[in-house]
Amino acid sequence: MQIKKHLLFTALGACVALHGCTQTGDAGLKEKIAQMLLVGFRDTTLTENSEIYHDVKNLKVGGIILFDYDVPSKTPVRNIQSPAQVKKLVADLQQIAPGKLLVSIDQEGGKVNRLKTAFGFPPSVSAKYLGTLDNVDTTAFYAAQTAGVLAGLGINLNFAPCVDVDVNPENPIIGQKERSFSADPEEVAKHAGIWVAEHTKRNIISCPKHFPGHGSSMNDTHAGSADVTRTWSAQELVPYQRLLETGAISLIMTSHVFNANLDADYPATMSKKILTGILRGQLGFDGVIISDDLAMGAIADLFPLEVALEKAINAGVDILCLSNNGSVYKPHMTQNTIDTIYALVQSGKITPERIDESYRRIQKLKQAFL
């Protein structure tokens, strides 16, 4: 019953979501654009002088992402210091937000673990550990533990599970980080489904990633281009197919991998052929598509931000992940991004209807979970 409660495609859910959109239908263009942004920031506490205070209260961004490490300064001082501190930070941000705020984190477990024991959080295990053990009760236990911790902190969106298939165990960012449940896509789907169900029970949005599959790459998209043209296969879509068959998935994250057989010009995050053609058209997904972090090298090093934003939105991305946790921290990033997208709409490179489409999906998601 809990999973059914959160299906975005039930008649009741659609009615509630549409009512929410009606209530917020008069939102201006820049406010709608702001709802499409999920941003990172440098604060462990919230003050009126914080840039994130302005982004949330005045610019009305749709969401935030929390990190335990600040990459530009190479220091472990970013957003996370203790359970009590995180809980207060999240509560303070929600209090100033004009509407419900998506509060997100990458809490897969194992090596991708923002809520570390050093900060007072319980130990976690990797997807590889769970897939190798292949015990559904153990997977449910750790998924429930993770979801319970997040719920207690007020975090409502987890960028997990990773449903990349372990095609290449030497993959530096998936296989070597033990982020894949298995080389068998059906096993990946089985354990991912348990993960999603346990999160849904606790009102946490799960976000499978990285579409259309990062498990076969030889390179890390954080560092630059990752070409999977010769290594990717349609088997990597199976976990998405299985999860979508359950009706429990409302959010999917893109990958920045490049596959010339699917799109000869752009990586997946910027590809209409992949996101609209395959994910929406072939697989029938009508939920929210969120980009992987646009600060990653596979995008930031190869495309100007304006081009990346234009192509990603037109490809079908609804929420743009802007961690501001790449090699350089950029002040006023949120305002500059809103202004850039607004100018793209004014110039006709992005239509107002395309912004409205994403805005409606995001409000529908928030109505269902928050």
- Second-level CATH architecture of 2-369: Alpha-Beta Barrel (3.20)
Give me the phi and psi of 258, to 5 degrees please. -110, 130
Q: Tell me: pLDDT of 187 over 70.
A: yes
Indicate which residue of 43, 106, 164, 292 is catalytic: 292
Domain ranges within the chain, ordered by starting residue:
2-369
What is the rounded CA–CA span in Å between residue 23 and residue 219? 45
Who wins on pLDDT, 61 or 23? 61
Judging by beta carbons within 10 Å of its beta carbon (0-12, 13-18, 19+), is residue 10 exposed, middle or buried? middle
What pLDDT is stored for residue 127 in this prediction? Answer: 98
User: pLDDT by residue (tens digit) across 223-282?
Assistant: 888 999 999 999 999 999 999 999 999 999 999 999 999 999 999 999 999 999 999 999
Residue range 176-184: average pLDDT?
Answer: 98
User: pLDDT by residue (tens digit) across 314-332?
Assistant: 999 999 999 999 999 999 9
What pLDDT is stored for residue 171 in this prediction? Answer: 95
User: pLDDT by residue (tens digit) across 266-300?
Assistant: 999 999 999 999 999 999 999 999 999 999 999 99
Q: Structure pTM?
A: 0.93
Q: Tell me: pLDDT of 123 over 80.
A: yes
User: pLDDT by residue (tens digit) across 17-40?
Assistant: 333 333 334 579 999 999 999 999
Indicate which residue of 222, 263, 293, 318 is catalytic: 222
User: pLDDT by residue (tens digit) across 343-352?
Assistant: 999 999 999 9
What is the rounded CA–CA span in Å between residue 357 and residue 352? 9
Residue range 44-65: average pLDDT?
Answer: 98
Q: Are 168 and 151 in contact (CB under 8 A)?
A: no
**Mean pLDDT in the chain?**
93
What is the rounded CA–CA span in Å between residue 53 and residue 93? 7
Per-residue CA distances from 277 to 107, 242, 255, 270, 271 (Å): 30, 18, 15, 12, 9
DSSP, res 278: I
What pLDDT is stored for residue 26 in this prediction? Answer: 55
User: Known catalytic residue: 301?
Assistant: no
User: Known catalytic residue: 222?
Assistant: yes
